Structure 1
Amino acid sequence: MSDVTRILSSIEQGDRRAAGELLPLVYDELRRLAAARLLREPPGQSVQPTMLVHEAYLRLVDADAAPHWNSRGHFFAAAAEAMRRILIENARRKRSERHGGQMRRVDLETVDPGAREREDELLDLDEALGRLEERWPEKAQLVKLRYFVGMTIPEAAETMGISHATAERHWTFARAWLHAQIRKDG
């Protein structure tokens, strides 16, 4: 049993000190994954990799939520879901009337006319991903690990406990299905 799996088991059993032991073991990997994910976001994001990792980590080890992880891969899959939710919440918050709706503060040096479209694309992807998850949860999990965490196909396959070939097939199918759904909706 790895240190991460042992600590995850302790957290599940309610050991509050275990959460403090977990962060140093997974921080670098979570930070790398968050940074890779945010590279695909428009410039001028209010979300930075460190903030994304810390917020996701807090959600993952919340004692009230009683997390149940059976492996390191399961923990990173939960981290992918937490990061996805944070990014979606951030995109929705930016779009809301209360936070300026369609009005945006713009730094003239970093003007990116496609930034608004990318926020809308992220929300469209989230909707389509929800539908994919209802029908094919394993394929949706692969998309979350690849798109929201930035894992490669081999990393995601290992995390999910599936073969590289299966991961490739799932990825090809999921991308085509999501693209068709987003195009149909848009």
Structure 2
Amino acid sequence: MTGEFTQLLAGWRGGDRAARDRLVGMAYPELHAIARRQLAGERRDHTLQPTALVNEAYLRLSGLERIDWQDRIHFVRLAARIMREILVDHARRRSAHKRDGGERMSLTALDQIAGDAADAGIDLVSLDEVLGRLEAFDADKARIVELRYFGGLTIEETAEAVGLSPATVKRHWQVARAWLFDALADQG
């Protein structure tokens, strides 16, 4: 499957829309799992469901032309980032309609991020802001958070994607989680 996936990415890069559509169809189960993970921490009455999130991400992905796709992990990382952006945009629109400016995250949610749980119930707008701050001074750690938390990649897959050893990724992941915990606590 990896070889076919890479061939389809090359076809998409060359402008082949049929390759793009086949690739997204092949990746759909993984994209749906990412969407479920990202929505797991949202409120129960969230208007977006995993299928709708995947569909919206597909629309955004399919509108991208001439991307220099590298591999499956690059594709998954971009899809996860797009899903995160969709959820953050959705949360910002929802917060704009509230007088108090949105929901605050609980200490339980912060503890869960520090404990490596993907369903922490975090305010995505706050998380997006602190992740941007992390990226400004340590892009590697921000990328690891993005791949692990939003993309759902394992330590080994993340290590392969960023070109580091699994032990180094694990250390960076622990430091980044602790930093996020502190940064989110400061915002609350």
Shared fold (TM-score, shorter chain, > 0.5): yes
Deviation at 1:76, TM superposition (A): 0.9
Matches of 1:32 and 1:80, distance apart in 2? 10
Identity of aligned residues (%): 42
1:41 is paired with a residue of what secondary structure? coil
Work out whether residues 146 and 156 of structure 1, in 8 Å CA contact, stay in contact via their aligned partners in 2: yes
Cα RMSD of the aligned pairs, angstroms, is 2.3
1:116 aligns with one of 93, 97, 103: 103
Deviation at 1:131, TM superposition (A): 1.1
Counterpart AA for 1:116: E
Matches of 2:83 and 2:95, distance apart in 1? 19
Structure 1 residues 143 and 169: alpha-carbon distance in aligned structure 2, compared to 1, 3 A threshold = same
Counterpart AA for 2:69: W
Counterpart AA for 1:165: A
Matches of 1:159 and 1:37, distance apart in 2? 20
Structure 1 residues 161 and 25: alpha-carbon distance in aligned structure 2, compared to 1, 3 A threshold = farther
Deviation at 1:120, TM superposition (A): 7.5
Work out whether residues 41 and 122 of structure 2, in 8 Å CA contact, stay in contact via their aligned partners in 1: no
Gaps of 5+ in 1: 104-114
Matches of 1:66 and 1:102, distance apart in 2? 42
Matches of 1:131 and 1:49, distance apart in 2? 28
Matches of 1:80 and 1:124, distance apart in 2? 17
Matches of 2:44 and 2:153, distance apart in 1? 21
Counterpart AA for 1:124: S
Deviation at 1:160, TM superposition (A): 3.7
Work out whether residues 142 and 170 of structure 1, in 8 Å CA contact, stay in contact via their aligned partners in 2: yes
Work out whether residues 34 and 49 of structure 1, in 8 Å CA contact, stay in contact via their aligned partners in 2: yes
Matches of 2:122 and 2:153, distance apart in 1? 23
- Which residue is equivalent to 2:113? none
Extract structure 1 runs of 4+ deviating beyond 4 A: none
Structure 1 residues 158 and 30: alpha-carbon distance in aligned structure 2, compared to 1, 3 A threshold = farther
The alignment status of 1:163 with 2:165, answered yes or no, reads yes
Counterpart AA for 1:143: V
Matches of 1:57 and 1:166, distance apart in 2? 33
Structure 1 residues 120 and 163: alpha-carbon distance in aligned structure 2, compared to 1, 3 A threshold = closer
Gaps of 5+ in 2: 106-120
Matches of 1:21 and 1:125, distance apart in 2? 33
Matches of 1:157 and 1:50, distance apart in 2? 29
Work out whether residues 129 and 178 of structure 1, in 8 Å CA contact, stay in contact via their aligned partners in 2: yes
